[in-house]
Structures are given as C-alpha cells and as structure tokens.
A and B are shown apart, each in its own frame.
Chain A
C-alpha cells in the first residue's frame, strides 16, 4: 500500500515513481499493472478539488479517503478519468463531520476502460453525487454505494450513469441504511442515449429502516432512448427481515447484536474492499456506532 496525503492542495508525501501532480491533478503513468493499492487521503481540507487520471492500459486500485472533523461546510469536487483500456478499482470512503458537506464526484470511462466503484458514506449531513460517463465503446462500470445515516442527519446520494457509447455496461447497487431520525434519499439514474446499441443498464436499490422515525426514499430511474439494449431495475425498502432476526436471536444473540450482524453483512462487500487495516477498522467502527 502506498499512501499519498493531500492537504491545502499540496502533496504532503513522496509520490510513487512516475506519478505527476500539478495544478490539483494527479496523473498515474500508463502501461503498468499495480499490484498494491494506493491510498489518497484528503485531510482536513474543506474546499478541495482533485482530478485523477489513470493513463492507458494501466490497472490500479485506488482508495480515496475524505476525512475531516470540521463541522463547517465542506465542498469537494473530484474527477477520475479512466483512459483507454485501463482497469480501475476505486473506493471512496467519506467520513465528514460537517453539517453541510457537498461531494461531487465525476468519473469518465474511455474506450474499453473498466471501472469498479465503491462508495461508503458514513458522514453526517452530506449531499453526494456520483456521476459516471461511459464515453468509449466497451466501457464498463460497476458501482456500489452504501450510505449510513443516523441521529438527525440527512444524506442525499445521487448516482448517475450515462451511456454515451454503444456496447457499454453499467450496473449499480445502492444501499441506504437509516437509524434513529436519520434520513436518506437515494437516487439511482441510468441513461442510455439514442444510438447506443447493446448498452446494458442494471440497477438495484435497497433501503433499510432501523427505527420507526428513520426515513429512506429510493428512486430507481432508467431513461432509455434506444431500442436495442438490455436493462433492468428493482428497489426495495424495509426493515431488517424478521425471520433473519428471529433466527439469530434463537441462537442467543440479543436483538441489537442480531441487527448489527445483519447490517454488517450488508456492508461486508464494501468493507472487505478496504485493504488499509486502520481505515477498515475505523470505517467498521463508525458504521457500528450509527446502527
């Protein structure tokens, strides 16, 4: 694992070989298969923008950590460009204490680029946009987003995938978990533009309500302007399945222990992707303190 820390628009750590950072833009060199993930931390910086470019034919896993204890308004503008035939596994972990955070994240996938995106939002009040443009033929994106809201916090998560080329593939699985008086609005939109034949668009949205006052709203939307495509979507909202709770409790787990185990089960696919042990522990701890 290589660490890159950015604070006040400046790199605080040594860059890996051949990486370039200038004008808030990080360029990762081409034709390299990185075996180890890199972690980029944007630290206590309330107004940051960053563009990451993964160059042609490169394979890499990036963990981006947004971390701030400041309660003042936060505003992040992030951009990831996956060049031709690159493969990017990308994990965004956002734990912001802000009472008004805005995270706008744009992704662009060029020809044959493969993006696997995971977003974990355990912030307080946040408005997050995850916007993917599939601009090259054969581009793929798999997106998983998890938002956990508790207390009085409201989180709005907009996930948008636009198919701007034929033979593109987009799949999103978004989960919102709300406890106490937490609120989550989860919008999943996938758009296939006219002429983009053989595009595939799939959506699964899931809302889990853990208290009587929690609110989760999910909106799965497919906008398709082409006939020759495959698409499907589904959405569910509910409490934790009673039969699963009863089952776990019948083996001696208390109601709370059973709920926690089940929620952690939902989050496991996200948590397992965090290679950085301290971050993984912190993320899991934060999630568990909210449920």
Chain B
C-alpha cells in the first residue's frame, strides 16, 4: 500500500527556519488533519512538499511510494501522484480551464486523453461541484471569486485523482453551502486509493470531512497527535490549553 512519509523535515524561507523537524506518515485511506494557530508552519509544510521554489529544505526526508520527493522538480512530484490544493491559486489569463486540465491529466496519467471522453468527465465534475456550466471555457481562475477558486482546486483534484493530496486551508473564506459542497466532494475520494492531509485552523470543515488522525502543529513541529477527540477540545478551548498541558510556549503569528 502506498504511503507518504515525512521524516524530520526542516524548512526555511529566506534563511529563517519555519519547520523544525516534522514527522508524519500518511497511508491510503487516511485523512490527517493538521491544525494549529496561524503562523506555525502548516502552509509551509504544504508548499515545501510540493516544491515551491521559495522554500528551502535544510534537513530531513520525504518519500512518496518510497521515491525521494525532495529530489524531484515540482512537476515530477505531481506526476508521482502528489497534489496540492492551494490557498491562493494563481490566475492564468488566456488559458482555459479545460485546455489546462486536459494537459494536466495527460501529464499525470501518462496517457492520451480523448477530447470527447475528457469533456464528459469534466462537465460531470463541474456539476458535482455546482460550478458555472461555462467553467471549461473560462480562463484559469481569472475573475474567480475566492469560493470559486477553492472549488476549482477540488474540481482539479477530482479530475486528476492523485495518490496523495494536501488541502491547504481549503475551507477559509467559504460560506456554509460552499463548505458543504467542498467537503462532500473530498469525501467522495476518501476510502479509495487515496490519502489526504487537511490543513486548517478552523474545525468547521471537519464536520464534513472526518479525519482519521488529528495533529496539532505549533512553532514548526507536530506537538500532539491523536484522533477526533482533539478537534472538540480545540473547538471548546482554542489552543491555549496546549501551552499549559504540554508546557510549550508560543505566540500566534502571521502566516
């Protein structure tokens, strides 16, 4: 069974260390929620695993199916089966969603993708995410509302069917209806040959997507791992108790 393994990962940005030794293993069928206050390195973990050029890995390892992720280019990681649903996906004028997705599907699946077959699959997914029917012909994220961008990320996830996905604050800025749509669509994928890391600092998305594991990240490290019981504890008390129970001192910062 495939797994995503992160071992003692240290990551810095412009010389400043953000991640200070993260360990995490995700197997197929698992959903790992990583929670924590702002500015503790959750999104850094997501970006570093995908290979964003701004982040430097200074120590540690990451493997997908036993293959060394950190030696791969961004696109090689994607083709190996990793997907990052981004917090702030870029706008690409002039490139239609369907042209982009068809090429991405060809790249990640390694197979030719027939136009007709693709169009049917894409339209169906557009409906599932309750997006505008003309989405295929609109330019990639151009003029999209925040909620549309997030849904477009999940739509791409469903079309590309990666082995592992990291959802970086996919819930922020979504209203209740959109949250439900996003949650249900992610749930459709869970259980199969798929593993997921869900990064959030709200618990509301976790009403829709049930994590198998919950981790609390503070100051660049996972300080506590457990099950769903951690969610309700955070829900009731925020993160202050972590400080007391674990004796960790931290300040909430900016992402």
Q: Report the Cα distance A262→B50, complex, angstroms.
A: 21
Q: For window 58-87 of chain A, which residues contact chain B by CB distance below 8 Å?
A: none
9 additional contacts, CB 8 Å, given A247-B90, A258-B75, A264-B95?
A242-B53, A243-B90, A246-B52, A247-B89, A250-B74, A250-B75, A255-B75, A262-B92, A268-B94
Q: What is the interface of chain A mostly: helix, strand, loop, or mixed?
A: helix
- Among A242, A244, A246, A250, chain B packs the most CB atoms within 10 A around the CB of A250
On whether the beta carbons of A244 and B90 are closer than 8 Å, the reply is: yes
On whether the beta carbons of A251 and B94 are closer than 8 Å, the reply is: no
Kindly provide the distance from the CB of A45 to the nearest chain B CB, expressed in whole angstroms: 34
Q: What are the residues of chain B within 8 A of A211 when measuring CB–CB?
A: none
- A251's partner among B51, B93, B156 (CB-CB below 8 A) is B156
List 18 A-B residue pairs with CB atoms under 8 Å apart, sorted by A's residue number: A241-B90, A243-B90, A244-B91, A246-B52, A247-B86, A248-B100, A249-B73, A250-B51, A250-B83, A251-B100, A251-B101, A253-B75, A254-B107, A258-B75, A261-B100, A264-B94, A264-B95, A269-B94
Q: Which residue of A lies closest to B82 (CB)?
A: A250
On whether the beta carbons of B74 and A249 are closer than 8 Å, the reply is: yes
Q: What are the residues of chain A within 8 A of B53 when measuring CB–CB?
A: 242, 246
Q: How many A-B residue pairs have CB under 8 A?
A: 78
Kindly provide the distance from the CB of B10 to the nearest chain A CB, expressed in whole angstroms: 22
Q: Which residue of A lies closest to B139 (CB)?
A: A265
On whether the beta carbons of A254 and B95 are closer than 8 Å, the reply is: no
On whether the beta carbons of B108 and A251 are closer than 8 Å, the reply is: yes
Give the 3 A-B residue pairs with the shortest CB-CB distance, closest first: A265-B94, A252-B107, A252-B78
Q: Return the CB mask of B6-29 against A: 1 if under 8 Å, else 0.
A: 000000000000000000000000
Q: Report the Cα distance A49→B51, complex, angstroms.
A: 55
Q: Report the Cα distance A242→B53, complex, angstroms.
A: 9
- Among A258, A261, A266, chain B packs the most CB atoms within 10 A around the CB of A261
Contact surface of A with B, Cβ cutoff 8 Å: 241-244, 246-255, 257-258, 261-262, 264-269
Q: Report the Cα distance A255→B76, complex, angstroms.
A: 10
- A253's partner among B86, B90, B104, B156 (CB-CB below 8 A) is B104
Is B212 interfacial (CB-CB < 8 Å)? no
Is B103 interfacial (CB-CB < 8 Å)? yes
- A261's partner among B77, B79, B89, B95 (CB-CB below 8 A) is B95
Q: Which residue of A lies closest to B94 (CB)?
A: A265
On whether the beta carbons of B92 and A251 are closer than 8 Å, the reply is: no
Is B4 interfacial (CB-CB < 8 Å)? no
Q: For window 60-117 of chain B, which residues contact chain A by CB distance below 8 Å?
A: 73-75, 77-79, 83-84, 86, 89-95, 99-101, 103-104, 107-108
Q: Report the Cα distance A104→B113, complex, angstroms.
A: 45
Q: What are the residues of chain A within 8 A of B167 when measuring CB–CB?
A: none
Q: What are the residues of chain B within 8 A of A265 when measuring CB–CB?
A: 92-95, 139
Q: Report the Cα distance A257→B102, complex, angstroms.
A: 12
Are A246 and B74 also in contact (CB < 8 A) when A251-B160, A253-B104 are? yes
Q: Which residue of B lies closest to A266 (CB)?
A: B94
Q: Report the Cα distance A262→B104, complex, angstroms.
A: 14
